[in-house]
Chains A and B, each alone.
Chain A
Amino acid sequence: MIEVSGLKKTFGDVVAIENVSFNAADARVTGLLGHNGAGKSTSLRVLYGLIKPETGYAKIDGIDVSQDRITAQSKLGVLPDGHGLYTRLTAREHLQYFGRLHGLSDDRIEARSEELIRMLDMQGIADRRTEGFSQGERMKVCLARALIHDPRHVVLDEPTNGLDVMTTRKVRELITELRALGLCVLFSSHLMYEVAKLCDDIVIIAEGRVVAVGSPEEIRAAAGVDNLEDAFVLLSEQAVSV
């Protein structure tokens, strides 16, 4: 269970987010939807403990991220905004490094790595250095290292951004699979159809504020339109004009 309440964050004079609140339940997929620069990444960065909010809190299973960052982070699997790799390490070595940082034993890391490599179809690239990996291959390594410690909460910042069709499909499959395992999945996207297809709950964020929360049906009803994409555009524009 992820709870976010009343978050505010400013960078200099710019208010990045204000009064952002939403929940993400276990065994459900929650989509954070917004245009580029709407405040998605800032909200998520607060959630995974990289920046501190001026007001409000983010809690993972009741643990406040600002109060006890380390415990909260150990419960999270994160695909952050920046997802650089070490070009001189192999995919497997990435998993090993992050596994060790999570305090896992080498046996546990090995077993879990095999599992993830199978899950993400990485057999062909697992023991190659990541230099020269395609966008899709890099994304798989990032996803695998985010999941190495078998977290109960998964936060993905734009997981399908810039991927080809095949890898996008793989990522969507993964998200559905994680939900089936009972995990709490929260991901951000600026693609309406993707969110509509995958999510149980949707949070629409615009101009740093949450403008709508609910199931796809509830969102459509709130905007008074049939099409979810129209609803998204309408709600976002309303926020801008306010």
Chain B
Amino acid sequence: MNVVRAVLIKELKDGLRDRRALLSAFLFPLLAPVFIYGLMTLVIKQNTESEDLVLPVIGQAYAPALMHQFEEAGFTLEVFDGSPEAAVRDKSVELVVQVPEDYQETMANFELTRVLVIHDGSRNDTRTIVRKVRRLITNYNNELAALRLIARGVSPKIMQGVRAKNSDVASDEQRAANLLNFIPIYVLMAAFVCGLGLAIDNTAGERERRSLEPLLINPVTRTALVFGKWLAASALAGAGMIITLGLCLAAMLALPIDELGLNFTLTPGQILMLLLAILPVPMFASSLQLLLGLFAKSFKDAQSYVGILVFIPVVPTLVLQFLPVASSLWMYFVPIFGQSLMIKEILGAETIPLLAYPAAFITTFATSLLVCWLTGRLLNQERVIQS
């Protein structure tokens, strides 16, 4: 136990003095809120309309009643000259509405009149305004049809057949949580990023600077050395992960997410549950990094091996994206998968089976211990000294 503590203290002291490595490790969590705030602000902006909507129109004079509808809806009309296709293509306008010259004539003859909406379907940012314009035209059409029926003494109700009624079973929190898919990824990634430098330095680095041999000459078990190194790397990874979680949540609370008609609240209970859920993740990450760090032939080798590990947290979200299955208990037993699920469910204020916490904790923690034991075995082999 004393040996584990001695190694832990030494590795932490050594690691915390490595300012540059520390800075690069903790850049990741510090960038989290910036990233989230920026991305989410963009999403919110695209989904909510701005007050000042400008609508370029060709042939305004042909359809005064329709134009009035647009103005009522908050559009400022603008006369458009030139080629509408070219203007839309070079992005100088978002869209152009073209009223045909024979508008009044076809209208009078009860023929179908086509109002052209020229837009670029590949642009994400204009999708909302295009949808709004089309909806207005459809509404105007319905009104017109109703008026025509009334003029013939027929009730417009005759037009009403079947209509879909929306009933969304997702709670506002759940729908918000859907937008939060990247929070589990980001938080879990932090556990893999923040302790990485220390884990490599303390295995492959130790061998590269030829300090492994003097270390192994000490009368201690190799397993004790591994546990000390593991706890040091875990501590750093854990600190980074908790900072990331805190900053992500703060960014979410600061965002005007209610503008999307969604709801995101956070209770102290939820925060506690989150912490409980993700606690073993840094230990898991660090144990794998130590094993690979010691297994690698050189420092550079170790960096590339361990770098691949960073993408593990992306896997669960990706899998669930393409295989949207209801969560069942076995999933919580899979390290990282379980935690990823739990973060999402806790943020979405869903109820989690009580067994999920011990299930996820025990399997993840036990796997880490197993990996540490394997690392200890590896350290007992002679070839580990020869680089």
Residues of A near any B CB (own CB < 8 A): 48-52, 69-74, 76, 78, 80-89, 93, 97-98, 100-103, 142, 145-146
Contacts and interface: CB of A to CB of B under 8 A. Distances in A.
B210 A84 contact: yes
Contacts of B6: 97, 100-101
Interface in B331-387: 382, 385
B57 to A, nearest CB: 70
Interface in B198-224: 206, 209-221
Contacts of B2: 100, 103
A86 B18 contact: no
B214 A73 contact: no
29 contacts: A48-B217, A50-B382, A51-B385, A52-B382, A69-B219, A70-B220, A70-B221, A73-B217, A73-B218, A74-B219, A80-B217, A82-B385, A83-B210, A83-B214, A84-B206, A84-B213, A85-B209, A86-B14, A86-B209, A88-B13, A88-B14, A88-B18, A89-B10, A89-B17, A93-B13, A101-B3, A101-B7, A101-B219, A103-B3
Contacts of B13: 88-89, 93
A52 B380 CA distance: 11
A42 to B, nearest CB: 11
Interface residues of B, number: 25
Considering residues B210, B211, B219, which has the most beta carbons from chain A within 10 angstroms of its beta carbon? B219
Interface string B1-23: 01100110010011001100000
B219 A70 contact: yes
Nearest to A85: B211
Q: Which of A69, A89, A97, A145 neighbours the largest number of chain B CB atoms within 10 Å of its CB?
A: A97
Contact of B216 (A50, A88, A100, A145): A50
A98 B382 CA distance: 22
Interface of B: 2-3, 6-7, 10, 13-14, 17-18, 206, 209-221, 382, 385
Contacts of B217: 48-50, 73, 76, 78, 80
Contact of A145 (B3, B14, B214): B214
Contact of A82 (B3, B10, B214, B382): B214
B220 A101 contact: yes
Given A69-B219, A83-B214, 15 more contacts: A48-B217, A50-B213, A52-B382, A70-B221, A76-B217, A78-B214, A80-B217, A81-B213, A84-B213, A87-B209, A89-B14, A101-B215, A101-B220, A103-B3, A145-B214
Contacts of B213: 50, 80-84
A48 to B, nearest CB: 5
User: DSSP majority for the B interface?
Assistant: helix
Contact of B385 (A50, A72, A87, A101): A50
Contact of A88 (B7, B17, B219, B221): B17
A12 to B, nearest CB: 11
A93 B11 CA distance: 12
Contacts of A97: 6, 10
A86 B16 CA distance: 13
A88 B202 CA distance: 13
A93 B2 CA distance: 16
Contacts of A102: 218-219
Given A50-B382, A93-B13, A103-B2, A84 B209 contact: yes
B212 A82 contact: yes
A145 B214 CA distance: 9
Contacts of B215: 101
Nearest to B382: A51
A49 B385 CA distance: 12
Given A50-B385, A74-B219, A82 B211 contact: yes
5 nearest CB pairs, A to B: A84-B210, A84-B211, A82-B210, A100-B6, A82-B213
A80 B218 CA distance: 11
Name the residue in B2, B7, B10, B382 with the highest tally of chain A Cβ atoms < 10 Å from its Cβ: B10
A51 B216 CA distance: 11
A142 B219 CA distance: 17
Contacts of B218: 73, 98, 101-102
A70 B380 CA distance: 13
Nearest to A69: B219
Residue among B210, B211, B217, B220 facing the most chain A CB atoms (10 A cut-off)? B217
Contacts of A81: 213
Contact of A142 (B14, B214, B220, B385): B214
A47 to B, nearest CB: 11
Contacts of A85: 209, 211
